[in-house]
Structure 1
Amino acid sequence: MKRIVGLLFLCIMALTLFACGQDQASDKEVLELLKDYKTVQYNIKDPLNPPSGTEIGEKVKGYFREDEYEKQMANRVFQIAPEIAKASNKSIQLENVKLKKSKENKDGTIDYDYTIKLKLYDDQSSEEIEKNGQLTVDGLKITRDWEDRSS
């Protein structure tokens, strides 16, 4: 009887640990999430007719927890790429994303540092810009996205 109870207890513990581990996304999944999100945020093909910040915001809404999405919209974050494209008369394309885990928080969220490389280009020239940022995720939902806007 003790053996059966012990075995049952071990099975329950293993299932509990397995279930808890399913809430956290792998670093690879977070990298794909970030690539997809930043592609939508930054890729501008036609600088003379870019999407609005609101249009971009609607496309990326599913990547965010509601409160962070509202914060990003209020800060007009999704307006930046269209304004840069229009002002420079250059298209923008996400070239590369690097992601590094920085901290696992007690609340189950995970902090990451990231670097994105953007290419601004037209028929005559192109230049690459690197932007650094920080991301916090809860599973596969963004709870914080901060970019260094000084560069």
Structure 2
Amino acid sequence: MKKILGLFIFLIIGVIATACSNETIKTKDVEKFVKEYKSEQYNLKDPANLPTGIEIGDKVKQYLSIDAFDKLNANRVFQIAPDFVKKTNKTIELEDVILEKEKENEDGTIDYNYTLKLKVSDKQSSEVIEKKGQISVSNDDGLKITRNWEDNVKIENVAI
């Protein structure tokens, strides 16, 4: 009887430990995480002193899985915002990220749809544009973006 009780307690402790180690991803935490990531990618306030796509990639690398970073970097995604600012002489600032949970995948990642609200300004005016995208997030060793895709939006015939 003592052996069975001991085994039962050991089993309960194991289940609790396993449940605690596989933390669920909270949308609130993901939203904060994505805002930090997108701020690094899009906050470009000085057209005369722009970072390169490589410099932006270095800043955002910590938010991305290795595969996601490699794909985005190969597609020169981090160069889009600096090119836009350079061609239009306007600044960009992330105002908000609206995140909508799409689905939980069997591999533990969660897919989200999002809308970025980007403030595009020059010395005379500003406008807030919306840019839609999709993102997948895992929580293996802290939050990591495993997939990121965005629509292109054109302003003055220049994509952002």
Q: Same fold (TM over 0.5)?
A: yes
1:105 is aligned to 105
Q: How does 1:1-150 map to 2 (within 5 A)?
A: 1=2, 2-21=4-23, 24-139=24-139, 140-150=143-153
* One-letter amino acid of the counterpart of residue 26, structure 2: S
Quote how far apart the aligned CAs of 1:79 are: 0.7
The separation in 1 between residues aligned to 2:69 and 2:148, in whole angstroms, is 10
1:57-81 Cα distance to aligned partner (Å, 9 max, x none): 1111111111110111110101111
Q: Secondary structure at the match of 1:106?
A: coil
- Stretches of structure 2 lacking an aligned partner (at least 5 in a row): 155-160
TM-score w.r.t. length of structure 2? 0.87
Q: Provide the rounded CA distance (Å) in 2 between the counterparts of 1:72 and 1:4.
A: 52
Cα distance in 1 for partners of 2:85, 2:137 equals 29
Runs of at least 5 residues in structure 1 that lack an aligned partner in the other structure: none
SS for the counterpart of 1:49 is: coil
Length, aligned pairs only: 149
RMSD: 1.3
Question: C-alpha deviations, 1:35-90, integer Å up to 9, x for none?
Answer: 00100100111113311111101111111111110111110101111111111111
Question: What stretches of structure 1 move > 3 A for 4+ residues in a row?
Answer: none
Q: Partners in 1 of 2:82 and 2:153 — Cα distance?
A: 18
Deviation at 1:150, TM superposition (A): 4.8
State the TM-score, normalized to the length of structure 1: 0.92
Instruction: State the distance in 2 between where 1:132 and 1:35 align.
Output: 14
